[in-house]
Structure 1
Amino acid sequence: MNATNLAQRAYAPTTAPTKSNRSMEYDVIAKITYRLKKAIEADELSPLLSALHENRKLWRMLAVNVADSENLLPDDLRARIFYLSEFTNQHTTKVIRKTASAVPLLEVNTAILRGLRSEGPAS
Structure 2
Amino acid sequence: MSVLALGGYQTAISQVEDARQAEARLLARLTANLARATARPVRDQAEFMQALHDNDRFWSQIAADLAGDGNRLPETLRAGLISLAGFVLGHSAALRRGEGEPQPLIDINRAVIRGLSGVTGAE
Match of 1:88?
Answer: 88
Structure 1 partner of 2:4? none
The aligned counterpart of 2:77 is 77
TM-score, length basis structure 2: 0.79
Unpaired stretches in structure 1, ≥5 consecutive residues? 1-17
In 1: Cα distance, 2:67 partner to 2:18 partner:
21
One-letter code aligned to 1:72 = R
The answer for the alignment partner of 1:10 in structure 2 is none
1:99 Cα offset (Å): 1.1
Q: TM-score, normalised by structure 1?
A: 0.79
Unmatched tracts of structure 2, length 5 or more: 1-14
- 1:72-117 C-alpha deviation (Å, 9 max, x unpaired): 1111110111001100111001111111111111111011011111
Q: CA deviation at 1:46?
A: 1.1
Match of 1:24 in 2: 22
Q: Whole-Å Cα distance in 2 between the matches of residues 83 and 34 of structure 1?
A: 23
Is residue 65 of structure 1 aligned with residue 65 of structure 2? Answer: yes
The structure with more radius of gyration: 1
- C-alpha separation between the residues in 2 aligned to 1:110 and 1:44? 23
Q: After TM superposition, where is structure 1 displaced by more than 4 Å over at least 4 residues in a row? A: none
SS of 1:116's partner is helix
- Give, in whole Å, the separation in 2 of the partners of 1:72 and 1:79: 12
Q: Which residue does the alignment assign to 2:106?
A: 106
1:34 is aligned to 2:32: yes
Matched-pair identity in %: 29
Q: Which amino acid aligns with 1:45?
A: Q
Residue 25 of structure 1: how far off its partner (Å): 0.7
**How well do the aligned residues superpose, as a CA RMSD in angstroms?**
1.9
